[in-house]
Structure 1
Amino acid sequence: MKSIGIFLFAILLSAVSLRAQNDAFSYVSIDKSEHDFGKVEANSKLECTFKIKNISVEPLVIRSIARGHSSVILSYEGEKIIMPGNSKTIKARLRAPGGPFSRRCVVEIGSNNGEFELSFFVKGNLSGN
């Protein structure tokens, strides 16, 4: 009887663990989590893109795009909805700040199962530093 109780507890624990893994990467894939500009000149205009793909079976909605710092501008073209199997390109533009820099960018995405954040980083170093 004790072994049946332990077995049922293990099954319940497994189900809870699987539910906890239901995060952003169950819904989207991203081509890179970081873009390193390397050494850049002061006040250089920098631009890179991050491609987000909907790998779920339901439409996803971009709720907001947030920059981690005022020097970063995030944008995308077209609809907020990303249909299953489709992708959306997020463009990050910034002017190189002084010294080494690393900026976190966040995309908030909604689905029928809730909302989640997807983060990526832009970084680099001012020449001579």
Structure 2
Amino acid sequence: MKKIILALSALCLVAFTSCKEDATKKISEANVAKAAERDAVASKFPVLTFDKTEHDFGEIEAKTQVETVFKYKNTGEAPLVITNIKSTCGCTVPKDWSREPLAPGGEGQFTVKFNGSGSNKVSKTITVTANTEKGSENVKITAFVKPDPNTAKPAQS
């Protein structure tokens, strides 16, 4: 048993020391330069900058549909790709955004439609998922929803 362990140890020693010299010869300066360039580019992200991050519709009647447009710009150093835009509930619907890459300095927009559901002060968050450093950005809509005048009020006793 000791002879087998000694033989395996000697074999491992030879294998590990023989690979060391060959590995250093395989590295080329061109590959090191390419890797450095790739890593420098990989650290550049797009930056999603909005013209406004919150929109207040003010007072609206219940069940009244309203919409607003959020404009944005890529102020970063890499192409911006928006993969999804979603809201916190089905009463707020984001639409009409480009799924194509947006070059640095480029501008785009999307529309948010709110159906006027809820009552009193209503606030909804819209999450924009993109290839930014954080991975997502948020914008918000608010409104004060007045009661629907067509609904019957409960009788007072």
What TM-score do you get using the length of structure 1 for normalisation? 0.72
**Post-superposition shift, 1:125?**
0.7
Identity of aligned residues (%): 23
Output the CA distance in 1 between the equivalents of 2:58 and 2:50: 21
SS at match of 2:81: strand
The answer for unaligned runs of 5 or more in structure 2 is: 1-42, 148-157
**Post-superposition shift, 1:80?**
3.0
In the alignment, is the contact (CA less than 8 A) between 1:60 and 1:83 conserved in 2? Answer: yes
In the alignment, is the contact (CA less than 8 A) between 1:61 and 1:82 conserved in 2? Answer: yes
Aligned to 1:74: 94
Output the CA distance in 2 between the equivalents of 1:42 and 1:105: 21
The answer for unaligned runs of 5 or more in structure 1 is: 1-21
Aligned to 2:127: 106
Cα 1:58–1:101, aligned 2, differ >3 Å: closer, same or farther? same
Aligned to 1:4: none
Cα 1:64–1:79, aligned 2, differ >3 Å: closer, same or farther? closer
Letter in 1 for 2:131: G
Q: 1:46 aligns with which of 48, 66, 85?
A: 66
Give a deviation string over 1:10-63, Cα, whole Å, max 9, x none. xxxxxxxxxxxx9x9x71211111100010011111100111100012101011
Q: Say what the alpha-carbon RMSD is for the aligned residues.
A: 2.1
The number of equivalent residue pairs is 103
Q: 2:105 aligns with which of 58, 80, 85?
A: 85
Which of the two has greater helix per residue? 2
SS at match of 1:47: strand
Give a deviation string over 1:47-93, Cα, whole Å, max 9, x none. 00111100012101011111111101111244431111111101100
SS at match of 1:119: strand
Aligned to 1:58: 78
Which of the two has greater strand per residue? 1
Rg larger in structure: 2
What TM-score do you get using the length of structure 2 for normalisation? 0.60
